[in-house]
Structure 1
Amino acid sequence: MTQPPGRGAGGGSEGAHRALVGLVMAATVRIHRPERGYVPDGSDRGFLGSGFFIAPSWVLTCAHVAMEGEGRHVNVVFKPDPGSAETAVEGTVVAALPESRSGASGAGGWPAPDLALIRLLRPVAHPCVYVTERPAGMFGGGSVLYAGWTDGGSGQLTRFSGRCQVMGTFGDWAEDDEQMRLDGDRMYPGLSGGPVVDLARGEVVGVLKSRSDGATGGTSIGVERLRTLPVPPGAVAAESDDPYQAVFHAHDRYHADRHTSSVGTERTWADVQRELGAGAGLALSPQQRADLLGRLAELPPPLSTRSLLGLLDRLPDTHPSEYHAAPRGWRDGLGALYDAPGGDGALELILRYCMSAISAERPYVLPSTQDAEASLWDWVKRMAEERLSRKFRHELAGLRYNDRHAPGREHARTPAPTLEPARTRSAPFVLLELEPRGWEPDRYDWRIGVDRHAGDVLPVAEDSRGTALDALPARLAGPLAEAFRRCDEPDSRAMLQVVVDRSLMELEVDAWRVPPDGRPLGVLRPVVIRCRDRGRWPADDGTDEREARWNRTVSAAMRAAVVDCEDGMRVPVPVVEELRGLAYETVPVLCRPGDPAHPEAAAGLGRVLDAGFGVALWRRRAAEPVAVCTEFHRSAARSVTEAGTADQLPRKIHRLRQGVHAGRAEMFWSDGVALLYQDPHHPLPGSGDEFLEAP
């Protein structure tokens, strides 16, 4: 297989190759039939084959592996590094190519392309591979790395890797049955579904499909075949509507976030690719490419393959129609440009493509779309200023400011939004007050009431005998059911407001199952936190300022501000006076408070309360010290913007919790998020008088 001119050095130190193998192996998983209980380390019980993490919460494997599960459900087992324990997570097969083995040749076979995407059903941290955006056949050399899980004849499953030479292809390039022929190393049962990696460029180019009947070699399917996943039949109104776009947007954001993060010192895929001498032809370094793909992934996808092909066709020296797996996403279009002539012309072509992406017609528009366009323009402008002529920079500025798409045009393809039923702001809600008994650790008094009007709370039940924390969900099941029955409407479940002391702000009432065999409370209805002790306020303006902040969040568009994390590093939450200087419509977001051992954890949330904010978001799960939290920042800000006003935010968080429970990977970032909701127009009973007196 020949190497296109000017495409990667094909070199790299032995250390770079070892690092590449480590990155690949860390993201490689084994797939089992779903079985109750823990899958023992190395056990072959229900073992089906291999796979690999292609994006956060997404696994790519062979269809003949994934579809051997039960009802499209499998267990994904992985070990991110040699010293860690194995993790088993249930997943569901979202798509298979093809969906059945009809037409397969030979016993037990599955027709090409024989690919499947598995989505995890709960959030878990894990590494991901880097997948090529190049068209089929554009490899840096003839050698590939393959990896997977096998017992190798020993009876104990273990991770395995090897190297092969690409010997060519067989099958029709215009059909789905084209496969790469590999030879030169022995392949064992169980490796099917594992990644095939271009060693010269350090990127996954295929999925191992089969092993040869002979002693060595086998076949693999090019990852570009995922472009043939079915296109959604209706209008696409969100990234998650199209699994292809959801997976690769998440993939590109993952690698961009890790490249730009200042947390941790481990080699990223971009670092290893740089050491290998790889890149996007001669135009972009691996780091620049990762940054660009991350910015493109913030945009809504192209309107259609047809529109993307038309955009590419209008660029000079491009021939997108020559590739049999037509480009489908922005990353695919970028990869089609890598065989253009080198020099400044190659970079100019990429920048023109970016400008086309900025001004393209959209299938939908998000509140963050304008910011994504501005971010991509900043990247284009910076690259042009560093390397290209003033004349070309002037042309780019004209494209940016004179050839913008017509306002409103992007909405022509999107159906009118379905509006939620109008609701009054005085809708009743349930109050649950938990009060710790200082003389009896881990025991609590509680009261339940229904707030029908501002300050008018009707008691439902109470208990001042002290209930153990782990017994609270079962003990409260009956009283809460009665309170909810008094408030719920057929189309709307009432909000639960949980009143606690500052010491209990981390209590996950939304995760309680009431009754024990039911779904979590936060999945069934909006659950928010209210703090009994709101802190001291200056006597002259404290009360007015607190109410003014709340009034602003319910009358104007809110905006989020992360106050405890910068560039992935924990920073102290600003002092109260500095927080009070933030705009009234600001919603503080705390990224790293979920570590009770850290002295700043409780203090930071306390400062937010003392500063008079009625609305705030924080995640209660302790983040890993080197965790990349860009996705949390991005998604929290988007959710606040999409909610619009404070009265809509509880139901926005409720929908996110429903999504996490349903296994929607695009919502996993919100796992463990809590919402502070201090409405001063609904004062807590007991703030001036005693709380509740049951009759």
Structure 2
Amino acid sequence: MLTCAHVVGNGGGGVLGGSTAIDITDADERTVQGRVALVLPGPADPDAPPRRWPLPDLALVEVADADGADCLWLSDRSTIVPAPVSLHGWSLETGELALRFGVGIAAGGDGTEGNAMLLRGEIPVAGCSGGPVVDTARGAVIGMSKGRGKDTAGLAVPITALRRIADDAPGRSLLHSVVRAHDRHHLRRYRTLGMRSWTGLQQDHRPHAADSFTPVLRAHLFARLAELPPPGTPAEVMALVDRAKRRVIQGPYQPGVEHDPRSWREGVGLLYDVRAGDDADGRDPGRGPGRDLELEAVLLYTALVVAELGRPGRPGPAVDGQLLRDVGTWLENHAEPLTDVIRWEIDDILHGGAPDGPVPFRRPRPDTVDLDKRPSRPVAPAATPARARADVIVEVDDVLYGTRYPWRVKLLLEDDLVTPLKFDEEGVPRALLREALREPIAEALSLGDVGEHLAALHVVLPRELFDEPLDTWQLTPPGRAASGIDPHTMPLGQRRVVVVRDRRRRDFPAIPEWRRRWKAAAAGPLTAVSLRKEVPEPGHDSPRRETGHATYRRLSFVADTAVPVYCGEAAAGAGAAAMEAALAAGHAVAIWRRCAPDHRDCADFHDQVSRLVSEAGTAEGLPHRIRELRIACGDPDEIDPGARWAQSIALLLDSPDHPPLPDTPLYAPGTWPGVS
């Protein structure tokens, strides 16, 4: 059972800790016992709960002997607003305990983490907290009432706040168990009660459309998805959703808004309302009336899930082959009227193009899912994904307000599509950048990582931040210590590719030298050239230093495949002046190390990097070799002697084409460069 944390919070530490049972009364006025399994957020002192419980204000209660209880349908939608809603609860406002309800609109969200849903309309009176907020168009619970504001305003906790349970490993298992129990229960109730069940009532109130994704079909599908292991990351779900949408739309597809799904069922919710493009007359030119493609997209997506879980070498525990065969057989036996092309494609996804073709189908009887029985067949291995779903771009702007750096986190998807995720245009001081970006980066990476393919991190920085130790940043929440070699908490540069990109030259169209040198570096073979001419042989103490203009002249006429190399800081002093000259000369790749010039191994560093770039060959080959060096230097007990030279190594890898720069940059009024 779901309710608000403040509803059970007054029971004190015993109730909140689950040691003291609470009474639960169902619709048939039966009273059973339940125990609190989880509250979010947990109070600092369970015996003195807060007067105003902070968001998400969510409680999960385990109820004994509830198998026969009626259960509302838990929404599978990642987007919850706007929607017509009804609100339900119990109140003593009239002097006696009675059921109250109201109707209104889920009008929007509030809070950067999506922990609140704003309501407008006939909001129920006090005492209804924790009661369900039902999307009346879909017949699904999308939240729990939290409180009433002024006039007709109200606040609710959206169902999507449940994702917070999955923020650590034990929580992922708990969330999967809750969703599995819910979806099994609804199919069991439909099989027992038929049209008198919640699923049956939804089916009865929905116009019968032979080619739509009906509530009955949804109950069958979700119960089967519930038997499968959950996705490892939200990106695994989103990648398959994107593939299904591209296939059924058959036209330019822009993902647009990003979502954070934690279950396969949420992927289905992202495929609702998929339609073929209509013109102004309601017809799709050349293809007849606009088609409802929801069912096609859902079944294709399900086939992709099955094939992905059956892929050899997929990270995570092995998947029971019989479970995959059962879902595959159910898909093929599904008798809704699909086009032959979609049936053939499902067959191809599941079995790698087996020659027996699509199964014949009959139109189902009303209110049933009619199956043409077919023998179970093995699921063929899916094609291995070639890359992560997306890379992550972190943009940090020049100081805007005093000492504050504005920032943005984005996803770089296929075809150079960029989707914004989080931002802070007011910004934070440099010392707080790591903490401010920790959660946004973690969320973005979870939307990019697919299986063994990890999103790269491209950090676009002002030049005075080039020496920021980005590769050493960890995503461990405050107060939680990193334990051993943990892929979720180890330094970013040891786990994945982390590269620097230049913020300043993104304010202008790319100069020809930059495009030319990037193209050459991408093709290779790479060579090394000193960023500062007097280094490495004399070292940092050389009495004669190359001027910035001289550095620009020299680096302008080296080979396009040359990589400037420097054994010291690039964000301050002589290193910064030389880096400015290299960037002006169009260099798109550079290597340095973020350490003060108090060392005597510059000659060795330059020799080692010269071999490194020669062996890497191309710009694409460099990041993974540098990641290997970061791992070799990251042992807290014993640094690899052969990699000691690479401590604090940094890499500029700055393409002008991916993503493409804007042809005409935008400036605030009065801020055009050179205009005062």
TM range (shorter): 0.3 to 0.5
> Which of 1 and 2 has greater Rg?
2
Normalized against structure 2, the TM-score is what? 0.44
Normalized against structure 1, the TM-score is what? 0.43
* Structure with more relative contact order (C-alpha pairs < 8 Å, separation 6 or more): 1
